[in-house]
Each structure stands twice: as structure tokens, then as C-alpha cells.
Chain A
């Protein structure tokens, strides 16, 4: 719906001016989206955040160094030692390929940016793209004004910022753009019926499949919309062009991505699209027959076609049902099932239910993540129904499904955010449209009375009149375009009815301008602006304070100024520079990606938690007494053990706080590790009341070794207590490095002892404070002490 071209030269000038202005607004929106995400770089530094992005960064480094073919066949032996991991076949390559391409282009232009810099700024750049995609999508639905508003809202929305600040180099960074852009191309195809856009749509879908597992949302939402259009009698050839090529090309392309492969045709998540594909063909056939036959012949034919069509449909549905029913989980993955039946995960899959981002959100989450958009969305929904077009029905469907899914998993708030922005943009834009129109037109009337003979206002009046005319025309034109759009589906009987309903509205529009009282409108505009500024203030705060911490560099503000804790990188740099290239480093899986990426050393387990037994082995080693742990680590060729300890500076997410998970996961595979052994009366504690098993396990010892030397008392500032066992020595491990704030401690496994003749028989009480539970460990004297 482009503004109508006016015959007057003044009108074209105004339109051209509007176009240029719109372009610059869009440019500014892009700058806004990019720059609001730079708080993390300004407040901290240009660094990759958290855990998973380090893996993506490492893959990108590999890609930029070795090229795409090497990347595709990359078997990574630096991780999951001794198993390794086939990286090329198990990652969604979209993000990596995107950043790699950007780096390659920049370097070809002789702009020597490092891979890390490109990775850090990928997410903000794609946020700007996502804002532009939102503009195009909303423009297709409700016009330029709504598009610009929606794009502005999306540039700022906190839910999306949380996943796309500079340095947050994760799949979602590019996937949200791909998602919106795919939807835009679908709507564009639906509005134009152009095969060109349909092909682009399939390609965009391919990019989405490359980028994120969330592509299943698209391949279920679009069939749902197509089905909805068919059921409500909105079938048209444009719908066919928008839908059929997407399914065929999209599925073929999706199967090209190694990590998806034959899942694209084998799993139930994709079956809905095939089912609708069949239905749309049946419907298209019916319409075709209807077009070439006389009404009477059609009556005869339709019974024939319907029986055949229904028979085919039933046969295919039966096959699908049989296929689905033959698999144990009915062909759905656990995560998808938990979306359909929200209580499923909490009942059957504790590992999914336990992850914090899979929790169902409460109402404050909505206020935090989409803020005032939560208020505006219902108005947007209603605006989309007045009048309902194919495009606006799609937007409403997108919102309804995503808001339901976000209610099940807080993580899916990210998918809701664009929908909420689009609908709020429509609502805000329509409200401003009505209110400013009321103010402008009535202000003119008001001024016209007393100042009619003053020459100064002469300039203003024509433009104002022009506006009246334009508004009138726009309303008429809107209705006209509406009609144009409806025309192909006018073959439907009920369309006529709708048009007759619309006719009086149209004449009513032409008769009288729709305005509200002047002063009330002015107040309402002010209120809306206040509401909007609340949103901006909240978003800036969220971007600056809530979502910008990289969690690899920590800061704390105290009375004597800002403290920076850079212990993680200190430790990884130490490993990189002081250990052999092939040394294996054991740590809890959280630090696996970081160790491989920053220290370039082989790890036993990492954040891609695909092998539970392996993780359990490490968990068992951490929960075992020193000697048993040494044996486990030695059998895995481990040279160094890395633990994260926050007791000195009060960093709460350290290994001691995660330790019960190590015990649980370890105990799940190796039953001799029992959780109650580590708990005193069901309480987890590390003070003097702690159980002997706890005080003798490797994690306790590695965390608190020499800790008493810091303050003389051994006071743990996270657990807020003095530790239970203060003075002890290590028999099988030696401390090789402890960072400045003791946050990371690295130990080396001592080499195996030489056998000492005659000493092995005599159990002798030693001065070593080893536990009584260890029967054989204390019998051998350690030559290294």
C-alpha cells in the first residue's frame, strides 16, 4: 500500500520528500539497533560473551583459516577426548558461514578486521537487518507508517537485545533476522503472486534452516496460515504460489544442511507442511475445474472430484498417522512435544524441565522483555481484523502461536518479540494516525476563523486542505487497494457479501472525516508519547545494565571504585602458554568451549552435552577422593585439572555451587556416588558440619587447597561460612597456577609413583589428613611429598 500518486506536482514533491525522509528514518533505525547493542563493548571491551559463542567463534576461526571444504569435513579432536566430535555435520552452519563471509569480504576490500571483531559485531549488524526486515514485513501488512514504527520498536525490544548484544555470537543473532525476512517474503509473495519472491522465500527459508533449529516454527506456521486461508474461503492462486514452491524447494534445500538431512522429510515436525501441500492441491484442482466448467457441470464434477480427493487425502493421512504412531515419541522431539502439551516436559523429561530458559514465564517476564508492547498488542490484533487481509491474518496467527509458545518456555519470548513489535507498531501507528489527523484538521479549522484575513497563514491552508484531501484519498485508496487485493478471490460467494458490507463504510468515509475532539486528542498524543518514552528508557536500561555483562570478564562496583575480574582469560592464557599443545585439560563441562577456544587445549567434555556417560565420568572424578579421581583422570590422559572457585571474591556460580549436579550426573551412571553422602541432613554444606565424603572429595580439595592462607580463617564469601577442613595436603595433584583473585585454579596430575618395596603391605597411620574411608590410598607413601 504505497501512498497514492497525486497528479499535482506539489504532491509528487511531497511524496518524494516523504520517501527520502522514510529512507533516512530507516537508516537511523538501523544505526539505533546497532548502537544500542554496543553497551557491552563500551562498558567492558570487544570480547565474545559467555560459553556457546566461544565455540561458534572457534568454528569461525577454523573456517576463515581453512576454507569451507575443510570446515565441512572437520573432525574436531580437541574436544570430547578421546571421542572427538564431527563439527561439520553437527552444527547449524548459518552463523559461522555468515560471519566467515563477512570477514572474507572485508579482508578482500583490504579492511583488516580480525575474525574476533567480526564475530563480536555480527549480532548488532544483523539486528539492524532484522529491524529493516520488520519494516518491510509490516509495510506489506499495514503500510509505511506502521512499518517504521514497528521497525523502531524492534530495534529496541529488550527480549531481542538480550540475545544480540555485541559479543553475543550465537545462532539466534542471525536467526531472528532470517525468521522475519522469511515471513516478509511469504507475505510479499502472497500479496503479489510473484514466483520471483516465492523463490527468494525458499532461499531465505534455507538460510533460516542453516541458522537455527527454530526453523520448524516457520515450516509449521506457514502451513497453518495456508490451511486457515483455505478453510475460511480465502484460497487464491497467490496463496498457491506462496505456499507450494516454498514446501518443495524449501524441503529440498533443508535436506542439504547436514544437521537436518533426512529429518526434513522423516520427522513429524515437517508433516504438517506435506499435509497442507496435498490439501492445497486438491483445493486448487477444485477451483480449476470450477473455472472451466459451467455451474451445472461443476455440480456433477465436484462430487466426483471431492470423493476422489477425499479418498486420496484419507489414504495419505492414514499413512502419515501410521508413520507417526510407529515411533515411540510419536515422531516428535521432546522439546516440540512440551510445546504442544505444556505439562509433558515436567512429567517426563527432567533434563529439559531443569534448564532455566525452559521454564514457563510469569507476568513480570513479559513486562521485562517486551515492556509496554504487552499493552499495545491487543489493539494491534484488532487493527489487523479491520479489515482482515491475507497478510494481516498471517501476522495475527504469528502472534497467537508465538505468544502461546512463549507462555510455555521463557526462551521463546525471543520469537514473540518480533510479532509483538509488528502488532504494537500497527497499533501505535494507527493511534497516532487518528490523533494527529484530528489535531491537524481541527487546528486548521480553528485558525481559519480568526486569521482568515491574515496573509501569513495562506501558505499553510492549502497544505492543510491538501492533507484533508489526501487523508480522504488515502482512505479511499486504501479501500481501493483492498478491493484490488480481494478481486482474485471474488469467485468466492461470501466475498460479495463482505464487499456489500464494506460499501456503506466507504461512502461514509467520503462523506465525513473521522476525527476526535481536539484537546482530548492532544492529551492522548502526549500520553502515548510518555508511554513510548517509558519504553525507550526501559530498553536503554535493559541494554546497558541487564543484558550486557559478558560473564567472561566480571566487574563489581564497591566504595573504592570499580573492580575488574579477568581471571578466566588469565587462566586460559596461562594454559595456552605454559602447557604442551597436546595436553588434556579436565574441567566441568561449562568451561569446555572456552578452554578449547581460548587455551587451544584438548578437553574431556564441553557444552555440547551429547554424551552423558562422559560427563558422568568427569562428575564422578570430581566427587571421588583424590586417588580414585587421579586414576580416572589418568585413564583419560588428563594432564591438568581446572576448577573455578569463587569463595575468595564471592563469585556465586563457581564449581562448589555446581557440585551437586556433578554428584547427581555422576551418580546417575556410576551408582557408587550417592548424593546423600554429600549432604548433612539433606543440606549441602562445606563447613565443619559437612560429611567426610564431602570434605575428602576432589572438588573440595582442589577448591580449598591453601585457602586458609589467604585470611587465616578460611572464610568462604559465597557460602558465607568458614570451611570445614582447612589444613590439608594434596597427594596426587599439585597446584600449578592460581589466578589473581583465585577464581580459576589449575592443578597438574602428579606422575605415577614408583612402586616401593615392602611398604605396600604395612598399613601405617600417616600424618596426611586423608580420609579413613580410603582404604588403600593411605597405605602408599607418596614420594612427591
Chain B
């Protein structure tokens, strides 16, 4: 009984061995190069701190165009152009760093799992890989594309909706998940303050707390000085009437340059304003009020009549000039001039 079973086991073992070998033999031809590619991608990935592989024309052909379909991986490619990084309206540097965050989050979520080698994050630069840009058919930035294993022509790959870029990393992760069905996992935003800094800040706060509380109880903080509040209120007023919120929301520059390279501070047309323009007019708005306040509350307390007279005349000239300036600027900008409305029979 025993020898027979041993023979049986052996034959079964051999059979399995042969089966396994033959299976690996038939499949191995195609997978060995795939494995190589994946391994190569992984080694490239490990070189980059954020796990984003930098591609060029050669690597594109190695990993994408010359590989048999289906490829064993997805590639998500961020199209970058160093010449356009300085254009603030494209937000390329910011989007690139968000892309790196998504890549890191993905790596952290899939560390040690087989799914880690299913998706690779890559970027490509316009200056060194122009032909790849044309192969992809990319003619505007920012642009993110996903090449799935079954994509044949590069220009058929899925591109991310341009309107979604405003939502940064979350939108990129959503895009990846919807196209690849591989979850990216929670986005790991870098902490604005590192844990060590946090500890130091907390310590400083703890040490300072008794002093602060003592000051507050004694009523000697800046908060108890009404002049600070007054300056703050006037500043907020100045900040708002100068249209700074508009500049922040719309990302308006302080000034532009015209075709001859001369700086332009004022923009004609009421829907838009430049930064400097807003601050200039905001300053004029505030100036008039401050001068009036000085005359009403400060000047009356002066003893010297001559000084009073001189300063009042100066104040009136300044106020007259500032109001006139704002009216003329407004007229120039919007075409509106202060004019009376008369009944038609009076004309």
C-alpha cells in the first residue's frame, strides 16, 4: 500500500510539474518581456521621489507604442512644458505637484500589493518630446491622459476633462478611478505644518499662555487699544473698496504691459480692473475721508490759527483734487459722467 501510494504521489508531482512548466513555457514567451517592462517601470518609479516617471520619446515608444496589446499596465501621463510654467493662468507647477500628490497617495495605498504595478504615473515635457505631443494630439495645456492597456493609437487615449482641473488632486484621482477601476485611496495632502513644528508651536503657546491670560485679564493687550481697531477698520474698508477681492478671485495682475512694453496700470472697461488701479482709487477714497476726519477732529484742537488756516487750505486742495480725480477716472473707465436728469419739458 505504502509504495504504491508513494509512486502515485510522485507521478502526480511530476504531472503537476510538467503542467506547470508547459504552462509557463507557453505563456512565458509573452509575459517575460511584460515583466521586464513592469520591472523597468518600477525601477524608474523608485528613482523619482514622488513616484512620477519622467518619459521622453524613447521611453514612450518602449512602454507604449512598441508593446503588444494588451499592455499589463495603465499609464497616466501629465503633459508639462517648462516654457509655459511661468504663465500663471495655466497653473502648471501647481497641477504638477498635485499630480505628484496623487501618485504618492496611490503608492502609499497600494504598497506591497500586486495592483501597485497596474498603474504608473508619468510626466512628459514638451521641449524634449515634441513628437510624442503630436502623437498624442495634445495641443493645449494643462493636459492629463490615461493610456489604458487596450489603447491602440495614442491619440485615442482618454483625456481628463479640462474643466475638472480646478478641483486639483481630487479630480485627478476621480478620473483615474473612473477609467481604471483601481482605487487611488485617500489623497495624502502634505501637512502645512510638520509634526515637529506643531510640537514647538504648542510648547511656545503653553509657555506664553499664562502671560497672555494675565495680559488679557489686565486689559493691556492690543485688543484693548481702540486705535488698533480704528486702523484695522479703515484698512478693511480700504482693502474692500479698492476691489482687492476681485483681484484675488480673478487672479488679476497688479499691472499689464502693452505692445510697446510700457506698463499699463489702468484698464478701460468696467467689468475688470487691475491690482494697482484698485489700490490707487481705494487710496483716494480713503484719503478724502481721513482728511475730513483730521479737519473735523484734529485740526479744531490746534491753538495756532495760522496753522489751522494753512492746513485747512491744503486739505481742501487735496480733497478737491482726489474727488475730481476719481470722477474723471470713473468717467474714463466706464464712460459715465455725473450729469443731471431733467424732465423732458425743461430742456
Q: Chain A residues in contact with chain B, CB under 8 A?
A: 231-233, 342-343, 346-348, 360-368, 372, 374-383, 385-386, 388, 393, 396, 399-400, 403-404, 406-408, 427, 430-431, 434, 438, 492-494, 508, 514-517, 519-521, 523-524, 527, 531, 534, 537-538, 540-541, 544-545
CB neighbours of B305 from chain A (8 A): 517
- Can you show 30 pairs from A to B with CB atoms below 8 A apart? A348-B166, A360-B250, A362-B270, A363-B241, A363-B281, A363-B285, A364-B273, A365-B243, A375-B285, A375-B326, A378-B288, A379-B288, A380-B289, A382-B290, A399-B237, A400-B232, A400-B233, A400-B237, A407-B240, A427-B293, A430-B296, A431-B295, A492-B219, A514-B301, A517-B308, A520-B312, A524-B312, A527-B319, A540-B340, A541-B338
Inter-chain contact A378/B234, CB cutoff 8 Å: yes
Q: How far is the CB of A642 from chain B (nearest CB, A)?
A: 31
Enumerate chain A residues within 8 angstroms of B166, measured Cβ to Cβ: 347-348
Q: A346 to B323: give the CA distance in the assembly, Å.
A: 34
How far, in angstroms, from A82 to B214 measured CA to CA in the complex? 67
B224 interface residue per 8 A CB criterion: yes
Complex interface: chain B residues within 8 A of A386 (CB): 297
Interfacial chain A residues near B234, Cβ < 8 Å: 378, 381-382
In whole angstroms, what is the CA distance A493 to B166 when docked?
A: 53
Q: Shortest Cβ distance from A439 into chain B, in angstroms?
A: 13
The reply to whether A383 and B293 contact each other, CB–CB distance below 8 Å, is yes
Residue of A nearest to B235 (CB): A400
Q: Quick one: which of A361, A364, A379 contacts B290, CB cutoff 8 A?
A: A379
- A388 nearest in chain B by CB position: B226
A517 to B316, CA, bound (A): 13
Contact A516 B338 (CB under 8 A): no
Q: Do the beta carbons of B296 and A363 come within 8 Å of each other?
A: no
Asked if residues A382 and B230 are in contact (CB atoms below 8 Å), the reply is yes
**Alpha-carbon distance between A268 and B234 when the two chains are bound, in angstroms:** 29
Given contacts A231-B223, A233-B219, A537-B340, contact A375 B296 (CB under 8 A): no
A379 neighbours in B (Cβ, 8 Å): 288-290, 292-293, 296
Q: Bound state CA distance, A388 and B225, in angstroms?
A: 11
CB distance from A162 to the nearest CB of B (A): 15
Contact partners of B190 in chain A: CB under 8 A: none
Check A520–B270 contact: CB distance below 8 A: no
Q: Closest residue to A374 on the B side, CB-wise?
A: B285
The distance from the CB of B247 to the nearest CB of chain A, in whole angstroms, is: 8
Q: Quick check: B289 and A378 within 8 Å, CB to CB? A: yes
Query: A427 vs B238: C-alpha distance in the bound complex, in angstroms?
Result: 17
Question: Any chain A CB within 8 A of the CB of B6?
Answer: no
Residue of B277, B289, B330 with most chain A CB atoms under a 10 A cut-off: B289
A66 CB → nearest B CB, Å: 42
Is A367 within 8 A of B167, CB to CB?
no
CB distance from B71 to the nearest CB of A (A): 29
Inter-chain contacts of B282 with A (CB < 8 A):
363
What residue in chain A is nearest B282 (Cβ atoms)? A363
Residue B320 interfacial (CB < 8 Å): yes
Main secondary structure of the interface of B (DSSP, over half): helix
Asked, given contacts A363-B241, A388-B226, A404-B240, whether A544 binds B341 with beta carbons under 8 Å apart, the answer is yes
Given A372-B323, A383-B296, the answer on whether A377 and B237 have CB atoms closer than 8 Å is yes
In contact, B219 and A494 (Cβ under 8 angstroms): yes
Contacts of A347 in B (CB 8 A): 166-167
Q: Are B289 and A375 in contact (CB under 8 A)?
A: yes
Residues of B within 8 A of A377 (CB): 237, 289
Contact yes or no, A517 B272, CB < 8 A:
no
**Chain B 270-312 against A: per-residue CB contact (8 Å), 1 yes, 0 no?**
1111000110011001101110110111011100010011001
Set of chain A residues within 8 Å of B148, measured between Cβ atoms: none
Q: Min CB distance, B303 to chain A, in Å?
A: 8
- Which B253-284 residues have a C-beta within 8 angstroms of A? 270-273, 277-278, 281-282
In whole angstroms, what is the CA distance A438 to B302 when docked? 14
Which secondary structure dominates chain A's binding surface? helix
Contacts of B249 on A, CB cut-off 8 Å?
A: 342-343, 346, 360, 408
Question: What is the distance, in angstroms, from A181's C-beta to the closest C-beta of chain B?
Answer: 24
Is the pair B292, A427 in contact by a Cβ cutoff of 8 Å? Answer: yes
B248 interface contact, C-beta 8 A: yes
Given A408-B245, A494-B219, A537-B340, does the pair A514, B300 have CB atoms closer than 8 Å? Answer: yes
In the assembled complex, the CB of A518 is this many whole angstroms from the nearest CB of chain B, namely 9
Q: Which of B211-247 contact A (CB under 8 A)?
A: 218-219, 223-224, 226-227, 229-230, 232-234, 236-246
CB distance from A492 to the nearest CB of B (A): 7
Query: Does the CB pair A403–B312 fall under 8 Å?
Result: no
Of listed A361, A379, A537, residue having the most chain B CB within 10 A: A379
Contact across chains for A517 and B293 when beta carbons are under 8 A apart = no
- Sorted nearest first, the 5 A-B pairs with minimum C-beta distance are A378-B289, A407-B245, A407-B240, A382-B293, A375-B288
Which chain A positions have C-beta within 8 A of B339? 537, 541
With A375-B323, A378-B288, A403-B241 known, 12 other A-B pairs at CB within 8 A are A232-B224, A346-B249, A363-B281, A366-B243, A375-B326, A378-B289, A385-B229, A427-B296, A492-B219, A493-B219, A516-B299, A523-B316
Check A403–B240 contact: CB distance below 8 A.
yes
Chain B, interface size category, equals 35 or more
A232 to B270, CA, bound (A): 41
Q: How far is the CA of A408 from the CA of B167 in the complex (A)?
A: 21
What is the bound-complex CA distance between A379 and B327, given in angstroms? 19
| A433 CA / B269 CA spacing, docked (Å) | 40
Minimal beta-carbon separation of A290 from chain B (angstroms):
12
Interface presence of B336 (CB below 8 A) = yes
CB contact between A537 and one of B224, B230, B286, B338 (< 8 Å): that residue: B338
In the assembled complex, the Cα of A418 lies from the Cα of B313 at a distance in Å of 32
- Cα A381 to Cα B288 in complex, Å, equals 13
Digitize B42-84: 1 where CB-to-A-CB distance is under 8 Å, 0 elsewhere: 0000000000000000000000000000000000000000000
Check A427 against B289 for contact (C-beta < 8 Å).
yes
Name the A residues within 8 Å of B312 (CB-CB): 516-517, 520-521, 524
Chain B CB within 10 A, most for which of A367, A388, A427: A367
Separation of A514 and B292 alpha carbons in the complex (Å): 16
Nearest neighbor of B286 in chain A, beta-carbon distance: A378
Q: Is the CB of A342 within 8 A of B233?
A: no
State how many angstroms separate the Cβ of A659 from the closest Cβ of chain B. 20
Chain A residues, Cβ within 8 Å of B143: none
Query: A434 to B296, Cβ gap below 8 A?
Result: yes
Question: Which of these, B290, B309, B319, contacts A520 with CB under 8 Å?
Answer: B309
In the assembled complex, the CB of A110 is this many whole angstroms from the nearest CB of chain B, namely 35
Judged by a CB distance under 8 angstroms, whether B333 is at the interface is: yes
Contact flag A494-B224 (CB < 8 Å), given A233-B219, A403-B237, A427-B292: yes
Taking CB atoms, residues of chain B closer than 8 Å to A523 are 316
B150 at the interface (CB under 8 A from A): no
Q: Does chain A have a CB within 8 A of B334?
A: yes
Q: Across the two chains, which residue of chain B brings its CB closest to A546?
A: B336
Q: How far is the CB of A672 from chain B (nearest CB, A)?
A: 17
Q: Which residues of B are found within 8 Å of A348, using beta-carbon distances?
A: 166-167
| Residue contact A520 to B224, C-beta cutoff 8 Å | no
When distances are taken between beta carbons in the complex, the residues of chain B under 8 Å from A360 are 243, 245-246, 249-250
Q: Which of A232, A365, A408, A431 contacts B296 (CB 8 A)?
A: A431
Whether B237 contacts A381 by the Cβ 8 Å rule is yes
Query: In whole Å, how far is A73's beta carbon from the nearest beta carbon of chain B?
Result: 42
Given the contacts A362-B272, A377-B289, A385-B226, A407 and B244 also touching, CB distance less than 8 Å: yes
Q: Complex formed: what's the CA distance from A358 to B203 in Å? A: 43
Chain A proximity of B108: nearest CB distance (Å): 24
Contact of B295 among A380, A393, A524 (CB under 8 A): A524
The answer to whether A407 and B308 have CB atoms under 8 Å apart is: no
Q: How many Å lie between the Cα of A82 and that of B243 in the bound state?
A: 45
- Cα A140 to Cα B229 in complex, Å, equals 21
Distance in Å: Cβ of B44 to nearest Cβ of chain A: 34
Closest to A338 in B: B249
With both chains docked as a complex, state the minimum distance between the C-beta of A655 and any C-beta of chain B, in angstroms: 24
Smallest Cβ distance from A417 to chain B, in angstroms? 13
Q: Closest Cβ of chain B: how far from A350's Cβ, in Å?
A: 8
Chain A contacts for B297, CB-based, 8 A: 382-383, 386, 430
What is the CA–CA distance of A517 and B305 in the complex, to the nearest angstrom?
6
